[in-house]
Structure 1
């Protein structure tokens, strides 16, 4: 996922997990299965969590034997662990080799095409380089002039943005629109740099075409070095107005913000128009379309996304919201009139996931209206293990101390897991292979906490560290 700075709610920022307030590090000693409930209780019953809710389920992978359960069939807000269900359903339906297509249709009446139609296929990885490839393919057809360039965004019928997402989410780059015509993840970088004391800071976009969709009002000021940072960026929801207010110290470095592109459909059109011009193709007029015509003509150019197996890595390991949302919509697109939520449910049933164990309204887990039980998460993780893509799915999860959202957590453990974080919510679900015990599958969810994200994650990590100590004791306990 692209870096999300400043505009992201503090609870969404990845931080190094530290020791929980009032808790000491647990010695790395063997832990009998019978001792596990008491060991976990020392974490979850700590006074820091007296007003919070815990949902926990820990099972042996092969046998399915439950080692510990706490409200495992109750609903919790899952945050990004919801991606586990979305990606499992996508793999079950499409298989890991599936790819999204971006095509250009038209007539081969070179050198002049009456209409050229760029059709987005919901490729969340489409870049300017991909559009350059399409432009060259069109030129190689002998086309040098286009009467009308149409950019068609008809791939998905669901809303581009989930209605229950909060306003800060849909303005930020981590909550960009999941439409059919995506370019550069529908995100743009905005940088503010302090100037001389008393002067307004300067600002710039990393992509002028995307940035031109915003109207910036700069009311900020550069303050003396050493003064507190007090700069704010205030996008106006439902508009393209962006206001810089407050002060930035003169000794502050560049301040980088990641924002959503307000109109991604038009953004892709404008960039493709420039790439066509770069290869010598003149376009007389352009149009945006949201529906498919009866006939598109001949496919003149095409590029494809990376295979689904790679997209699942981006969704799970890197917790890319846009990729997860697109995969959900691709399910709906593949089964017309069924709806993406329904198709996901049906595919998860095939994997043995009880549809009564979750109620998801999006694909990424960004909505606070999502509900999942620990049981449903564990059913998903176990259900995938018998599928031919099981190794890929497991490898798509972050590795403790090594990759993705677990890069700075739980090092030296044989752990693959999906993280989840929202304000007052943390979650972790995945696979753990303790050195002296059978492989485990687990789901840990903490809701309604007023502690810091760092403290919340530390509590989850403490439980996983205790799981890693588990051993089969001589008496078989």
Structure 2
């Protein structure tokens, strides 16, 4: 009987050794699949200079170059948007102010509304008429709410492309002009909400036939005013005249004198949340930087400057996100600058904080995410959220290389269980 018990014990030992050996064999096969950084070997062939990360509940599952800073392109708009929602508040509104003096001069003072479009200028003109104004001697445009150290962001070459527009306290239609050039250089406005303006005709002379939407400041000045202010002034004048208001005199740049009567405070309907959603969906550089500048004003007062916003964002990164400034470097808020940097690790933190605002993110390939592209510079990025049942995973792909393999990397990350 003792022999039988011994045999059974020996048999159990043999089985244990056997299954232990089998387990060791499979573990030894699996271990090379994950390096110490959690790297997925199948993604190595897609990355020559870049990083990625996938996390759940704040825990990183897989990553490569997790702490290496990369140029983020428009995925940086996630940082700007989060800061705007947290600092300005999701229900913040922008206003534009209309004043009138005793000589019949009308003043327009902007505060940097990122979404001041033709339809709103038409509404303001109607409100002026409803105040009983029938005649205006001059229109003075006050853009002193911004005092920018340079007119355009680093990374912009002030081309005619809409994404190259500069920021201003009093910009209309994102500082872009729509126009249609016909044969013999005849120019029309292709949009019913924006009437034909003289500045359209001047700009259209240098363009080929067809539909265009261009950066208004990329063309030679038509007067002493910067083109963006001339554009605003001409649009406002025509829409005032549509209301039966006689406009005399000229359009000038100036400052609202103290104690001048406030006629209208026009407050936009869009909240910060609305603006963020629109900005992320269209990847609008102008809107992103208008929000970025508003953050600086909120923290350090008017007028807006790049320096104030850089300081405000650095404080937000450190105090709210708990990150070192070396992990996120922001010289502007759109992602257009080649000096911007962010690590995959830092962008994961941003995404975790962004979860309450996930409905504001665009959807691509059925995934909630923001893309970022600087094609000529070899920057191809994704950052967003993957929903797995009740679990939400954050992912980041930052490629600074010629090969745009972000879709292939996303496909692999998406199917990780």
Q: What range is the shorter-chain TM-score in? A: 0.7 to 0.9
Distance in 1 (CA, whole Å) between partners of 2:368 and 2:114 is 24
**Residue 416 in structure 1 maps to residue 356 in structure 2:** no
**Residue 178 in structure 1 maps to residue 167 in structure 2:** yes
**Equivalent in 368, 372, 376 of residue 338 of structure 2:** 368
CA displacement at 1:82 relative to structure 2: 0.8
Distance in 2 (CA, whole Å) between partners of 1:352 and 1:34 is 33
Question: More displaced, 169-178 or 281-290?
Answer: 281-290
Deviations 1:225-250 (A, max 9, x none): xxxxxxxxxxxxxxxxx365xxxxxx
**Equivalent in 130, 133, 136 of residue 146 of structure 1:** 136
Structure 2, unmatched stretches of 5+, are: 1-29, 218-226
CA RMSD of aligned residues (A): 2.8
CA displacement at 1:430 relative to structure 2: 1.2
The structure with the greater share of residues assigned to helix is 2
2:414 match: 468
**Equivalent in 316, 328, 345 of residue 292 of structure 2:** 328
Distance in 1 (CA, whole Å) between partners of 2:252 and 2:287 is 23
Deviations 1:57-85 (A, max 9, x none): 2211x2x2211221121121111001011
CA displacement at 1:422 relative to structure 2: 0.5
**Change over 3 Å in CA distance of 1:188–1:287 after alignment to 2:** closer
Equivalences for residues 116-135 of structure 1 within 5 A = 116-135=106-125
Q: Does the residue aligned with 1:439 lie in a helix, a strand or coil? A: strand
1:275 match: 239
CA contact (8 A) 1:192 1:256 kept: yes
1:188 match: 177
**Change over 3 Å in CA distance of 1:128–1:44 after alignment to 2:** same
CA displacement at 1:208 relative to structure 2: 3.1
Distance in 1 (CA, whole Å) between partners of 2:268 and 2:73 is 30
CA contact (8 A) 1:125 1:305 kept: no
CA displacement at 1:363 relative to structure 2: 1.0
Question: More displaced, 130-139 or 283-292?
Answer: 283-292
The total of aligned residue pairs comes to 365
Normalising by structure 2, we get a TM-score of: 0.79
CA displacement at 1:347 relative to structure 2: 2.5
Say which one has the larger Rg. 2
1:355 match: 325
CA displacement at 1:201 relative to structure 2: 8.1
**Residue 95 in structure 1 maps to residue 89 in structure 2:** yes
**Equivalent in 268, 271, 284 of residue 304 of structure 1:** 268
1:208 match: 196
CA displacement at 1:191 relative to structure 2: 4.1
Q: Does the residue aligned with 2:98 lie in a helix, a strand or coil? A: strand
CA contact (8 A) 1:434 1:468 kept: no
CA contact (8 A) 1:39 1:466 kept: no
Q: Does the residue aligned with 2:69 lie in a helix, a strand or coil? A: coil
Equivalences for residues 22-421 of structure 1 within 5 A = 40-46=40-46, 49=47, 52-60=48-56, 62=57, 64-107=58-101, 113-159=103-149, 161-167=151-157, 170-191=159-180, 204-206=188-190, 208-209=196-197, 211-212=199-200, 214-215=202-203, 242=206, 244=208, 255-262=210-217, 263-289=227-253, 291=255, 293-334=257-298, 335-336=300-301, 339-349=308-318, 350-385=320-355, 390=356, 393-399=357-363, 406=364, 410-411=365-366, 415-421=367-373
Distance in 1 (CA, whole Å) between partners of 2:387 and 2:91 is 28
Distance in 1 (CA, whole Å) between partners of 2:176 and 2:243 is 26
CA displacement at 1:356 relative to structure 2: 2.0
CA contact (8 A) 2:114 2:291 kept: no
Distance in 1 (CA, whole Å) between partners of 2:187 and 2:39 is 52
CA contact (8 A) 2:153 2:166 kept: no
**Residue 430 in structure 1 maps to residue 394 in structure 2:** no
CA contact (8 A) 2:116 2:174 kept: yes
CA displacement at 1:137 relative to structure 2: 1.7
Deviations 1:387-426 (A, max 9, x none): xxx2xx2111111xxxxxx2xxx23xxx311100002110
Q: Does the residue aligned with 1:74 lie in a helix, a strand or coil? A: coil
Distance in 2 (CA, whole Å) between partners of 1:125 and 1:307 is 10
Deviations 1:245-293 (A, max 9, x none): xxxxxxxxx7433211121111111111112222222232234335554
Q: Does the residue aligned with 1:114 lie in a helix, a strand or coil? A: coil
CA contact (8 A) 1:348 1:380 kept: no
Q: Does the residue aligned with 1:45 lie in a helix, a strand or coil? A: helix
Distance in 1 (CA, whole Å) between partners of 2:384 and 2:32 is 22
CA contact (8 A) 2:313 2:330 kept: no
Q: Does the residue aligned with 2:282 lie in a helix, a strand or coil? A: coil
